[in-house]
Amino acid sequence: MDQRRAPQSAPADARPVVANLRPVVAPPRAGRLVDASCRALDIVGSLVLLVAVAPLLVAISILIRLDSPGPVLFRQRRVGRDRRPFTVIKFRTMHDGVSHERHREFVVNLINGEPPRRESPGESDRPGDFYYKMMEDPRVTRFGRVLRRSSLDELPQLWNVLRGQMSLVGPRPAIPYEVEHYPPHWFARFAVRPGITGVWQVSGRSEVTLEEMVELDVEYARRRSLWLNLWILARTVPAVLGARGAW
């Protein structure tokens, strides 16, 4: 008779929130003073901005409803700090009910180092020159393209910041199906809250390759401070107005 015991499953709270995740390779946790100062900036900043842009939020909501049928807001599960799931809120920029399978395939191919399907003539096909965003996405509405190019679709995420799920500054909030394919060294980006803006956004956004974006996120997680966040926020305004790397 076989006396070997069957392996016992780990407690439910010890399992990662996304299936098949690799171990976290994280930088040292920032001190309490850094956490407290950055959180204070998030609370004050998000409250002030929500009040200041309230008329703009209303105007955008009306234009979205006039442009295409469907809800004003788009909700999607994302992976936050310490790989905890949360629901991100954005203005809807895509047609209602479209499939995300094409984007899933696109991102998984990028992570695996496979060249994505070229979306237009002249796009680079050199190894490592694969950018995170699809240049031509048929799911996006006419007004949605305006919102994405101006980054105005991100404004509802101020509510995520106020709730403590996101930060004004941090890595781009990851989608669960892409996290399942992360190599181990990418998990360091989950040591901090995801942000509305970040080093990636002020460094060229879609002109930055996926590997470069993650490297910027990991470096930010190591160096995060109140002053670094203020510096990134100051650079966000000209980056958005210049629309560099915005597709």
Q: Which range scores top for mean pLDDT: 60-64, 123-127, 186-190?
A: 60-64
78, 175 contact by CB (below 8 A): yes
- Cα radius of gyration rounded to whole Å, the chain: 19
- Which of 4-18, 46-60, 130-144, 153-167 shows the lowest mean pLDDT across its residues? 4-18
Residue 52, pLDDT > 70, answer yes
Mean pLDDT score, 132-152: 82
In whole angstroms, give the CA distance from residue 245 to residue 247: 6
Residue 18, pLDDT > 90, answer no
What are the structural domain ranges in the chain?
29-242
pTM, to two decimals: 0.78
- pLDDT, tens digit, 9 for 90 and up, residues 203-243: 766 567 788 888 999 999 999 999 999 999 999 988 877 65
Q: Kindly report the length of the chain.
A: 247
More confident position, 2 or 45: 45
In whole angstroms, give the CA distance from residue 206 to residue 129: 11
Question: Do β-strands 195-197 and 167-169 pair in parallel, antiparallel, or remain unpaired?
Answer: parallel
